Structure 1
């Protein structure tokens, strides 16, 4: 059984760095490619229950976000975050690490080590 679940995008250097950190720490991890296996609304809600960061931080504010015509006002509430990420999984911030009843966004990279040390 894995100690940590990581929501991972292999194209993301920060996400790859988190995997390396897990490997260096000899922590067993379940790797979930969230683009191939998107989280549904229930799973996103469960993730937000564990997330130590504000729910809105789970949404990437990148060019795709802007292309979709989204603004910060569209992801202010937990319910909005769940709806946007369920419809647009590409906007999920990465990496996200989950262990037990805790979850963090692994940005900046240094947060991963602190999370694993706790």
Structure 2
């Protein structure tokens, strides 16, 4: 919701002259839309931004499931990244025990890392 990806794409264009169509975006593991439960206050923010990547949770009245990866993909493509240059691992950190999950593990977690680089 903070617009980090659109801001990064705009900065890459402004500062380095990078056309987003030439960028490659890879999204690693993260909590999936199957397990990312949010309340109406989060849904309101997504509605206001016209990002309809949530659905009511049939098991939890008044709660919703939010698909962050779908929102990231939407913002990347809207920002000029070509669909063939976008890749997501598709692994849910909540359901896949190979990864740490703050929600699943009750706050006891390890660390993950990310890499952003310009070609050398």
TM-score (norm 1): 0.28
Greater helix share, 1 or 2?
A: 1
**Higher alpha-carbon Rg:** 2
